Structure 1
Amino acid sequence: MTPRSRSVGVTASSASGAGVRTGRPPLTERRKDATRLEIAREAVRLFTERGVQATSGEDIARAAGISPRTLWRYFSAKEQCVRPLLTRELTRVAQRLVELPAGRPLAAVVEDDGAERYDDEDAEGASAVRALIRLTREEPSILAVWLQVHHEAEAVFAGVLAERLGLPADSLDVRVRASMINGALRSASEDWALAEISEADAVSPAHRDTVRRAMRIVTDGLDC
């Protein structure tokens, strides 16, 4: 199966909203993704205002305008509600890795972003992600979700690299490379989120610029 035809999931759970797909997803799935993102944004807002311990799943459901039963259909725990925001950048990079022609270097995954346009929704999403990553410094349960998301993403990166290199996904060469990419993305996001810059300067383009810098550092040492 070629990289272009393969469907890749960044997370193991379909409830996370993080699956990487080729092509445009069906309308029903797009609506589910939109609901997951709305839940995630409300969860971040409440966690930031009240703290995780003082926020219940029922509080998040009420803020998102859905029933608790619907919330638990999407997520297994209140902390998991933030996953769709945490996985967005990982999903984007994984999708680009899948679609990247075999002859192009991995750095091209983030070098083509310059033509992208950023709107109010991008800025709102970037602000929520920034607040969420900052929460990982004081909320261990959110840090656990952040690390879990990256752990799952690493397996996806390994699968893509294995195809490019013609090696088993569990080989040391592939696993080390996947770990380097994964670590670069996590470090870039944390560097961006924790930087002392204004909200106006921290929208999506700033995040993407930091990711580009991190990927350049990594790909300088990757022969693939």
Structure 2
Amino acid sequence: MPAPRTEPAARRPTLAERRKSETRLDIARAAARLFAEHGTADVTADQIAAEVGIGLRTFYRYARTKEDAVEPMLATGAERWFGAIAAGSGGLPTLADLEAAAVRSLTIDGGEDFELTRGLLRAMDTDPALRAVWHRINMEGERELRRVLAELGGPDADPLHLRLLAAAAAGSIRIALEQWAADGGQDPASLVVRCMRVLGAGL
């Protein structure tokens, strides 16, 4: 009788990879602070690099443009969400499962990143360059979510249903975060629950 198959253990990032990731986040936080305060037009890559304490050449090893520098911070929540979905019970998750995973990933501790994210999303309204980065992150996130759902759903999953499920879930998070940043009222987790239940009613 063959032994049961076990999943390979996740590879632990190397020290160099962890340091690289930390540097990218340091750059993202510095850029977010400066952009929220001054807007992208009045902030240079030199200023961001100086804020972090690195040279300009090092800055460009981590970011293509000054606006792209904030991408790691804005994408962190999506990465937590995908991890929570993949760690579920197996099989294609329902919209309720995606909602529960989103709530866990959006439980923000109110620290510096909380305010930096809010400031970036507010600045985005009047800053086309930041808005383009945000929209790209959301489109890439929706595609990645669709890939994760396809893996969980297996070969028999309906591709159209997967696309609709990914669009409803990813769109709910985007709208919830933008609304949270704009009015400062409800917390984003509560807003994403409301959005998912409205957008996902037909699913």
TM-score tier after normalising by the smaller chain length: 0.7 to 0.9
Task: Provide closer, same or farther for how the CA distance between residues 50 and 33 of structure 1 changes in structure 2, counting only shifts above 3 A.
Answer: same
TM-score normalized with structure 1 length: 0.75
Among 162, 167, 173, the alignment partner of 1:179 is 167
Matched, 1:124 2:112: yes
Per-residue deviation, 1:54: 1.4
Alignment match, 1:38: 26
Aligned equivalents of 2:41, 2:128: Cα separation in 1: 11
Q: What per-residue deviation string (whole Å, max 9, x for no partner) do you get for residues 37-92 of structure 1?
A: 11111111111222211111111000111111111000100000010111111111
Alignment match, 2:97: 108
Q: Identity across aligned pairs (percent)?
A: 36
Among 210, 218, 222, the alignment partner of 2:191 is 210
Task: Provide closer, same or farther for how the CA distance between residues 171 and 70 of structure 1 changes in structure 2, counting only shifts above 3 A.
Answer: same
Unaligned runs of 5+ in 2: 1-6
Which of the two has higher C-alpha Rg?
A: 2
Whether the 8 Å CA contact 2:95–2:169 is kept in 1: the answer is: no
Aligned equivalents of 1:220, 1:126: Cα separation in 2: 30
Task: Give the secondary structure class of the aligned counterpart of 2:42.
Answer: coil
Among 51, 73, 76, the alignment partner of 2:61 is 73
Whether the 8 Å CA contact 1:39–1:61 is kept in 2: the answer is: yes
Per-residue deviation, 1:210: 2.9
Task: Give the secondary structure class of the aligned counterpart of 1:107.
Answer: helix
Aligned equivalents of 2:148, 2:25: Cα separation in 1: 26
**Which amino acid in 1 is paired with 2:138?**
H
Task: Give the secondary structure class of the aligned counterpart of 1:53.
Answer: helix
Unaligned runs of 5+ in 1: 7-21
Alignment match, 1:14: none
Aligned equivalents of 1:174, 1:128: Cα separation in 2: 32
